Amino acid sequence: MNFFKKPFSIFILIMASAYGAECSTIDLDKGNGSMANIPPLNQHYTNTCYAHAGAVMLDAWLHSHGGDRTKLTSPLATAVFNNGDMMSMGLGNISCAAIDSIDDYGRCEKNGFDDKVWNDFKFFDPISPSQRATDIMKLLGELYVKPPRKRFSSKSNGFSQNRKLRKWKKENKIRAQKIYCSMDSLSLGTFSNVSLESLEDAMASISKETYYKKMIQTLCGNKIEDISDDIPSCNSSKRILHAEDRTPKNFKKKIHEILESDNPQPIGVGYCGNLLYKGKDFRGFKKGVLGFVSLDVLTGSDCGLHESVVIGRKMVNGRCQLKIRNSWGADATYPRWESDNNGNVWVDEETFTQNMGSLTYLE
């Protein structure tokens, strides 16, 4: 019996040592890591996890490639630029989409927009800071007036339409002037450097989505900058669309490859957020037909699609754990996993990759 036990024990030790080498401690939050100057974020009552993940990824990349480490990107403005709304359905809005929107509309600084929303903006519900992002969108929506509907069934209707459109544009200028003179009473006075011209331009938007984007650019003021020349390409893969190719094993391999690179960066990960409340046996992803993930994952409540970033790894009791920077605030707690006071949670790697739906990284 001892003859068989001893070789088996040696084999286990060798395998554990080999696996431990594959999971040596890496922490992008420590020392001079790419995450060292990025504080924990809180998406509050908004469904904008993908924009928070994208903002973190972009800031970390810029900070570690010679950028100004005092500047942080506004996730809320990024969400608006991506969707025209603070809320997302969560169906495939992975962080690459958020980063692409910054490429298109500019980088709004967090302290020029988010901090003012959470700390200063008070209108519909001045008591609850968690509601202020939706409140400001509600306010901006109420300030907008739709253009007249197009009806060109005859020349007279065409002439009438043109007249109504001219009247709408004229009244919009008046509305913009009134808003500009009422910034304080609208609780918008804290947003500095808002120009009348930018307000007029936003009010003249034909679609409400364009209007929202222009209004957020206006409120960002001089805290928005064009960094399209500095943004790296964003690479992503979705298990939702390619379930057979985007396996947990492949996701795990790519995560380790990025973490072990010369200048490791945070990795955007879309996954079943309910695993943060459950144990290591949780499996939210289910196979569908023709290689796709089951529609229950997208439409049901078992999975709870969410997006965060992986920023490290370590070995615990012979199992590799991934360090996840979430967007639920620094003081968030998780019943099944170890967390800290910096917005991070450690999750079992096998459990996590089994529940992953997408992986995003900057090249």
Over the stretch 185-244, which tens digit does the pLDDT of each residue have? 999 999 988 999 999 999 999 999 999 999 999 999 999 999 999 999 999 988 777 676
What is the distance of C-alpha 204 from the center of its chain? 29
Q: Examine residue 191 and state whether it is found in any structural domain, yes or no.
A: yes
Per-residue pLDDT at 239: 78
State what percent of residues in the chain have pLDDT above 70: 85
Residues 215 and 242 in one domain: no
* CA 137, 139, 140, 142 torsion-angle sign: positive
Q: For tokens 């967007």, what's the residue?
A: 327
Window from 105-119, 299-313, 341-355 with minimum mean pLDDT: 299-313
Q: Which of 225, 251, 272 is the last residue of a domain?
A: 225
Same domain, 250 and 198: no
- Residue 336 lies inside a defined structural domain of this protein: yes
CA-CA-CA-CA torsion for 38, 40, 46, 47, nearest 10 degrees? 80
Of the three residues 183, 205, 225, the one that is the final residue of a domain is 225
Same domain, 356 and 283: yes
Sign of the torsion angle spanned by Cα atoms 293, 299, 304, 306? positive
Please indicate, yes or no, if residue 10 is contained in any of the structural domains: no
Tokens of 275: 């695993």
Same domain, 221 and 237: no
Query: What pLDDT is attached to residue 292?
Result: 63
Structural domain of 272: 19-70+232-362
Residue 346 lies in a domain: yes
Task: Looking at the structure, tell me whether residues 140 and 55 fall in a common domain.
Answer: no
* Distance between CA atoms of residues 274 and 296, nearest Å: 14
Read off the tokens for 107: 């980088």
Segment 34-46 mean pLDDT: 95
User: Residue 36 falls within a domain, yes or no?
Assistant: yes
What pLDDT, on a 0 to 100 scale, did the predictor assign at position 290? 57
| pLDDT > 50? residue 9 | no
- Asked if residue 52 is part of any domain, the answer here is yes
127 and 216 share one domain: yes
The residue out of 225, 258, 275 marking a domain boundary is 225
40 touches 129 (CB < 8 A): no
> Within a domain: residue 84?
no
pLDDT in tens, 257-288: 999 999 999 999 999 999 999 989 998 877 76
Whole-number pLDDT of residue 113:
96
pLDDT for 68: 95
Pairing outcome for strands 319-325 and 305-316: antiparallel
pLDDT at 304 over 90: no
- The answer to whether position 245 is within a domain reads yes
Same domain as 123, residue 217: yes
Crossing angle (nearest 10°) for helices 75-83 and 49-63 = 120
pLDDT-wise least confident of 26-35, 237-246, 265-274, 321-330: 237-246
Share of the chain above pLDDT 90, in %: 72
Report pLDDT digits (tens) over 96-143: 999 999 999 999 999 999 999 999 999 999 999 999 999 999 999 999
Query: Which residue, among 47, 45, 46, 64, has the nearest Cα to 56 in the 3D structure?
Result: 64
Task: For residues 76 and 288, give the distance between their C-alpha atoms in angstroms, rounded to a whole number.
Answer: 34
Q: 185: which 2 tokens? A: 């009473």
In this structure, what is the dihedral angle of CA atoms 230, 221, 102, 92, given to the nearest 10 degrees?
Answer: 160
Q: What would the mean pLDDT of 153-168 be, rounded to a whole number?
A: 72
Summarize the confidence of residues 3-7 as an average pLDDT. 47
Q: Is 157 found in the same domain as 52?
A: no
Judgement on whether residues 343 and 260 belong to the same structural domain of the protein: yes
Alpha helices by DSSP H, listed for the chain, are 2-22, 49-63, 75-83, 95-105, 114-119, 132-143, 155-181, 196-203, 208-220, 248-259, 295-299, 349-354
Supply the pLDDT for residue 21.
Answer: 58
Query: Per-residue pLDDT averaged across 326-355, rounded?
Result: 94
pLDDT at 86 over 80: no
Burial class of residue 139, CB neighbours in 10 A (0-12, 13-18, 19+): middle
Any idea what the CATH number is for the domain that residue 283 is in?
3.90.70
Tally of domains in the chain: 2
> Are 122 and 173 within one domain?
yes
**What span, in angstroms and rounded, lies between the C-alpha atoms of 359 and 270?**
6
Mean pLDDT of the chain: 87
